[in-house]
Amino acid sequence: MISWRKHYRQTLIAIGLLLSTSASIYGQDGDPKNGEKLFKANCTACHALDKQVIGPALKGVVARLETEQGLGKDWLYKWIKNNKELRASGDKYANEVFEKFNKTEMQVFPNLTDKDIDDILAYTTNPPEPAPAKTDAAKDTANAGSANAAPQSSTTTNVVIISLLAIAGLLVWILLKLRQLVKLGQSEDLAGLNETRVKSFREIYEKYHYIGKGLIAILALLAAYGVWNWIMWIGVYKGYKPEQPIYFSHKIHAGEQKIDCQLCHSSAKYGKVSEIPSMNVCMNCHRTISEYNAEHYMEPGKDKAFYDGEIKKIYAATGWDPEKQQYTGKTQPVEWTRIHNMPDFVYFNHAQHVVAGEQAIINSFNKKNPNNKIDVVCKACHGKIDTMNVVQMANDFTMGWCIECHRTTEVDMNNGYNKEYFKNLHDKLKKQYPKDGGKITVDAIGGLECGKCHY
Ligand code: HEC
Ligand code: HEC
Ligand code: HEC
Ligand code: HEC
Ligand code: HEC
Ligand code: HEC
């Protein structure tokens, strides 16, 4: 009797909870579109909608947890923001599901707000239909067109073509003259031939020596132009875009999937070089993403089989056996072709720009593109990498280019280091040029000193 009563009360409480949570679930709908973005940026590494990857399938997770566990959105907020904390608090289901997935740690997301989570959950409840394939393919051709637009100096080609035409014209003219001479020789008798020949050659030289000299002069000019170009363009090829061993698309990763540049190029923040990520970074996601399923985005002329094949190359490189879900130990290094490469005598440091100079660069870059804030720092120098299927150099990367930016970019005086070190200079400039309020550009803090950029 007592136990029945206990159960009765529990059932009532459960029904009450169920009603209240379902009210809260259906009461606050999120925005599935924004949810999709957040899901792709944060969750696809471990979750898919309709199959288990590292974590469980999340389609309809709200309804499932509610009916199977009696858990509402509050639980989901807590879990998604900080599953560790929830587990540590002794929450029963949190610990159960953790055990069930062999104690695989889910990442914590303290930065997601309740609204963000509503949006994500709205997406898992109502995933939108995939967009029709055509529009994106069309957009891409447009993009590809502009990205491919001959970036190389067309003046070089023009000069070469004009010179070749000039040389061809000269040759035709010489041939005509020679024919005249041969005719002249034929009209004379054989006995005088030798003499005529000698005479006529001297004649030719005396009459036409400027042709030869002209030719030599043109060749010398061309050579000088070539050398000059070669010096100005040491190691620099704007538009250079070599083929890579794996067809890795920045448009798909950084553009479509909105993966942060620094997730892969994490060393940009810490030092001189912004390294190409190791294959382990790829495996964080591709251990589970073994196929390409984003049917709404395919480059024209490429299909799912092509992309799947490229993803398999990651497995070949790391020795991952996707069937057995284990590493075989047979690895194969991937040799990416380096695209940006300063000559050895130049010192360029990413951290100086991505950390110390970040705000300065964002401020000046945003003047031209006020709406574009994502990855602005990287884009200020590398262009719209997130629209490129194949990376290409977006700028000259010459000395003139570095200096131009140093002359025009105002340093961020609120950055702690600058505030302290350049206080006197700042105060002095403020007095000297009260009009610009002591505007300090990078050149004023040594950005034009040879020794800063050259070893
Ligand atoms: C690093 C991998 C990883 C990432 C990233 C990740 N999860 Fe998880 N998630 C897991 C694992 C693993 C579990 C299973 C429980 C465990 O082992 O902790 C899980 C469980 C869950 C559950 C419980 C599902 C159930 O059926 O009980 C929800 C809900 C969830 N994750 C939502 C999210 C959301 C939303 C995101 C993105 C904001 C996300 N996860 C990102 C690994 C991840
Ligand atoms: C998922 C990982 C990943 C993300 C995210 C990513 N990259 Fe890359 N990046 C790579 C790989 C792999 C390469 C080498 C292959 C290539 O050139 O495409 C590369 C190459 C580059 C290069 C050329 C390096 C060279 O050889 O000179 C630049 C520049 C670059 N990335 C910038 C960016 C920027 C800017 C972003 C953000 C908009 C970004 N990357 C996001 C993985 C990534
Ligand atoms: C943060 C997660 C993540 C990381 C890290 C990542 N990828 Fe991907 N990759 C994806 C997603 C998501 C897709 C698209 C799959 C889909 O939508 O079906 C994808 C697609 C691909 C594809 C097919 C499309 C294309 O770009 O040609 C290749 C190849 C690929 N990745 C290679 C790599 C390589 C190489 C690395 C490491 C340098 C890497 N990925 C790192 C998430 C990631
Ligand atoms: C001030 C301009 C500038 C900014 C900002 C910048 N880069 Fe670079 N990046 C360069 C130059 C210059 C090189 C060539 C460096 C060399 O060859 O030593 C380069 C090279 C690279 C490379 C090739 C590897 C290397 O270090 O040589 C990658 C990858 C890269 N950058 C990614 C990034 C990412 C990601 C960001 C944003 C976090 C970024 N860059 C921001 C100018 C910049
Ligand atoms: C997009 C603009 C931009 C470009 C392009 C750029 N820089 Fe800079 N650079 C900055 C800013 C901003 C700072 C100041 C950072 C700070 O506040 O300390 C800086 C600082 C520096 C410094 C430190 C100067 C000092 O006095 O401490 C060096 C060295 C440097 N850059 C080298 C280069 C080289 C080499 C290149 C070309 C390969 C280059 N930069 C291209 C914006 C740029
Ligand atoms: C803001 C950085 C920066 C400063 C300051 C700078 N340089 Fe350079 N310099 C470069 C870069 C980058 C290159 C490589 C350009 C290339 O590969 O085309 C270069 C190349 C050169 C070259 C090789 C020829 C050429 O044009 O490629 C010479 C010589 C040179 N610098 C001399 C100097 C002298 C002298 C100073 C001081 C007055 C100076 N540089 C200051 C960045 C700088």
Which helix (H) or strand (E) covers residue 77, if one does? helix 73-88
pLDDT at residue 253, rounded to an integer: 93
**Cα end-to-end span (Å), the chain:** 89
DSSP 235-268: T--TT-----SS---HIIIIIIS---HHHHSGGG
**Residue 235 falls in which region: left (phi positive, over 0), alpha (psi -120 to 50) or beta:** left
Residue range 22-57, pLDDT digits in tens? 333 333 578 888 898 889 888 877 788 887 777 899
pLDDT at residue 231, rounded to an integer: 57
- The pair of three-digit structure tokens given for residue 205, joined into one six-digit string: 């030289």
* 94 Cβ below 6 A of ligand 1: no
- Report yes or no: 125 and 62 within 8 Å, Cβ to Cβ: yes
Note the ligand closest to the C-alpha atom of 254: 2
Q: Quick one: average pLDDT of 100-123?
A: 87
- pLDDT(61) > 60: yes
* 77 Cβ below 6 A of ligand 1: no
Residue range 227-239, pLDDT digits in tens? 766 655 554 556 6
User: Distance between CA atoms of 233 and 300, rounded to whole angstroms?
Assistant: 33
Beta-carbon contacts of 8 under 8 Å, excluding residues fewer than 6 positions away, are: none
* 340 Cβ below 6 A of ligand 4: yes
Chain mean pLDDT for the chain: 77
In terms of pLDDT, which residue wins out, 277 or 4?
277
In angstroms, what is the span from residue 442 Cα to ligand 5's centroid? Answer: 7
pLDDT at residue 143, rounded to an integer: 35
Return the bridge partners of 321, or none.
Answer: 326
- Report yes or no: 152 and 225 within 8 Å, Cβ to Cβ: no
In angstroms, what is the span from residue 274 Cα to ligand 4's centroid? Answer: 6
pLDDT at residue 62, rounded to an integer: 92
Note the ligand closest to the C-alpha atom of 394: 2
**Residue 117 falls in which region: left (phi positive, over 0), alpha (psi -120 to 50) or beta:** alpha
* 407 Cβ below 6 A of ligand 6: no
Place of tokens 């062999």: 102
pLDDT at residue 193, rounded to an integer: 54
User: Distance between CA atoms of 286 and 332, rounded to whole angstroms?
Assistant: 17
Q: Quick one: average pLDDT of 139-166?
A: 50
Q: Compute the half-sphere exposure of residue 220: CA atoms within 13 Å on the CB side of its CA.
A: 6
Nearest alpha carbon to residue 318 among 406, 424, 222, 246 = 246
CATH of 2-125, one of 3.30.460.80, 1.10.760.10, 1.10.390.10, 3.40.720.10: 1.10.760.10
Radius of gyration of the chain (CA): 34
- Report yes or no: 283 and 246 within 8 Å, Cβ to Cβ: no
Q: Quick one: average pLDDT of 107-120?
A: 89
Residue range 262-305, pLDDT digits in tens? 889 987 777 677 789 999 999 999 999 999 988 888 888 889 99
Note the ligand closest to the C-alpha atom of 105: 1
Residue range 397-445, pLDDT digits in tens? 888 888 888 888 888 777 666 666 677 777 777 777 666 666 788 888 8
Residue type, 112: L
pLDDT at residue 220, rounded to an integer: 93
Q: Quick one: average pLDDT of 91-114?
A: 86
* 250 Cβ below 6 A of ligand 4: no
* 289 Cβ below 6 A of ligand 3: yes
pLDDT at residue 205, rounded to an integer: 74
Q: Quick one: average pLDDT of 151-164?
A: 59
> Cα angle vertex 35, ends 33, 40, to 5°?
105
pLDDT at residue 192, rounded to an integer: 52
* 378 Cβ below 6 A of ligand 4: yes
- pLDDT(16) > 80: no
Residue range 347-384, pLDDT digits in tens? 998 888 887 788 888 877 766 655 555 567 888 899 88
- Report yes or no: 294 and 307 within 8 Å, Cβ to Cβ: no
Report pTM.
0.63
Which helix (H) or strand (E) covers residue 327, if one does? strand 326-327
